[in-house]
Amino acid sequence: MLGLALGLATAMALARSLTLLRFKDATASGLGVNVKRRRLEVLLLSVALTGLAVAVAGPVGMVGLIGPEIARSMSSSRSVPVLAATLAGALVMVLADLAGRTLLAPIEIPVGIVTAVVGGPWLLWILMRPQRSFT
């Protein structure tokens, strides 16, 4: 829990610069972001939080794609909704677990299978939709 709290606090602190990284590198640098350093920090934080999540919940695919996309689609701002993405990912896990336990009761479907079945088409939809430009 301590690792999650520290990681979430760090992600919230990086949220403004993550929003700026959505622009071109020259624009983000002009707005005061050390692009290379920030990308390394975000990469290390992502690896640490992913490792923590896998250690606690086991390998569950697609939640890292579904949660942030749900949060981004429900957000009215152009910033990166870090807290909302965290909550959306948790909600996806709870709903996938609930579906896996109840859909074919008394047979339980592992949560990883449920997220893969839902996440596969979701990933295709994300890749096929037109890209929005932020610059």
Give pLDDT tens digits for 73-98.
888 777 768 888 889 888 988 998 89
Mean pLDDT, the chain, integer: 83
pLDDT tens for residues 54-71? 777 676 767 777 888 888
The proportion of the chain whose per-residue pLDDT surpasses 90, expressed as a percent, equals: 9
Name the residue ranges covered by the structural domains of the chain: 1-59, 60-135
d(CA 120, CA 37): 32
pLDDT tens digits, residue range 9-29? 998 888 888 888 888 888 888
Q: What is the pLDDT confidence band of residue 134, given thresholds at 50, 70 and 90? A: low
Distance of alpha carbon 15 from alpha carbon 37, whole angstroms: 15
Task: Indicate if the pLDDT at residue 133 is higher than 60.
Answer: no
> Helical H runs in the chain?
2-20, 25-30, 35-57, 63-74, 82-102, 111-128
